[in-house]
Amino acid sequence: MHLDWRFDNPFTREFTVSAGYIDALGHTNNTIYSQWCEETAWAHSAALGMDAAGYQRLDRAMAIQRAEYDYLLPSFAGETLLVGTWLTAMQRKLTMERCFQIFNRQTGSLLLQGKWQLVCIRIGTGKPVKMPTEFIQAYAPHIISAG
């Protein structure tokens, strides 16, 4: 099935909705979607050569400064979802933007679109700091235009 991704070539991960993810309204709890976005972002970062161990070694991290999610449609137990992500901006070697979409694999319906504003921090202090060269080398070549 063709999925109408906002940008070409997303990094993707697949998730299956289990009964434990269903909330009192009978559909997947919204916190699960944000958890899947986070897991997909970590997997993408690791695939680009910058995993949690690298963050610790450098005493730097890209931390979520702002997260926006538009929940468009529900999902239900047994459905398979595809989470896609892209890096869409880098500014002043301090901040990045990451976008997400979640599609229902069976129906092709867009369930969620989201965006994170990330800031580079020194892990030891939590304060903003310029990205180390290793971050720029790992991430900059993969920034796509969100225009």
Q: Which two tokens stand for residue 146?
A: 């969100």
pLDDT tens profile 12-54: 999 999 999 999 999 999 999 999 999 999 999 999 999 999 9
Write out the DSSP string of 11-66.
Answer: EEEEEE--GGGB-TTSSB-HHHHHHHHHHHHHHHHHHTT--HHHHHHHTEEEEEEE
Please determine, looking at this structure, whether the domain spanning 11-142 carries the CATH number 3.10.129.10. yes
3-state secondary structure of 136: helix
pLDDT tens profile 45-87: 999 999 999 999 999 999 999 999 999 999 999 999 999 999 9
pLDDT of residue 49: 96
Q: Which residues pair with 80 in a beta bridge?
A: 16
- Is the distance from CB of 65 to CB of 118 less than 8 angstroms? yes
Q: Is the pTM of this model over 0.85?
A: yes
pLDDT tens profile 104-122: 999 999 999 999 999 999 9
Q: Mean pLDDT for the chain?
A: 96
In the chain, domain spans: 11-142
